[in-house]
Amino acid sequence: MAYDRYVAVCDPLCYAAVMGPRLCAGLAAVSWLVGLANAAVETAVTVRLPTCGRHVLNHVACETLALVRLACVDVTLNQAVIVASSVLVLLAPCCLVALSYARIVAAVLRIRSSGGRRKAFGTCASHLTVVSMSYGMALVTYMQPRSTASAEQDKVVVLFYAVVTPMLNPLIYSLRNKEIKAALTRVLARSSESKR
């Protein structure tokens, strides 16, 4: 999506030629394969860990770091692999998205008309909102030192990026639609009138 927005804003005349079905399928395939490889690595690192005592996972989801905490052996290597995996899967794409948006902002600021700038920023706002929420929560979960996070904080963060962010996705993207905006405005106006 970040590359799509980059091409749409920075090189709109070539958009149809650049963002063809083949490139879109390739980008989607790479995304799925990286996710699959990450899941395979984290599963391989976690599945053979011996656990001691109660086998109760004090978490809202079967999260890798929560599973590693159940182990009764030294998990330093496991945590190092998970952090390395997180750097590759989270930080690298996050940096690419940030670079893409930095170039988009630079291109938009060169637009002379305020209407053109507003339209260009509007094109990117919904994607940037979703990306910020998703990557922000994932980075907080996987990149913080273990000693700084409590189990309760972990639950809230995981709940946010596993449930709240996907639930907000359709709302955020649909707010670009004029009919949806108008309907939401009517509902909010009725709601505020009924409270009076």
Is pLDDT of 148 > 60?
no
Q: How far is CA 161 from CA 102, 131, 135, 138, 165, in A?
A: 24, 11, 9, 7, 5
Give the residue, 86 or 107, on which the prediction is more confident.
107
- Which whole number is the average pLDDT over 170-183? 76
pLDDT of residue 42: 85
The domain spans of the chain are 1-144
Taking the CA of residue 100 as centre, how many other CA atoms within 13 Å lie in the half-sphere pointing to its CB? Answer: 20
pTM of the model: 0.67
CA atoms of 184 and 77, how far apart (whole Å): 50
Is pLDDT of 32 > 70?
yes
Task: Classify residue 65 by burial, with Cβ atoms within 10 Å: 0-12, 13-18, 19+.
Answer: buried
Confidence of residue 140 (pLDDT cuts 50, 70, 90): confident
- Strand pairing partners for 51? 71
pLDDT of residue 33: 93
Read off the amino acid at residue 131: V
Quick one: what percent of the chain has pLDDT higher than 90? 5
pLDDT tens, position by position, 35-74: 899 889 888 888 888 877 777 776 666 677 777 777 888 8
- Which whole number is the average pLDDT over 14-33? 90
- Strand pairing partners for 71? 51
- Which whole number is the average pLDDT over 112-133? 81
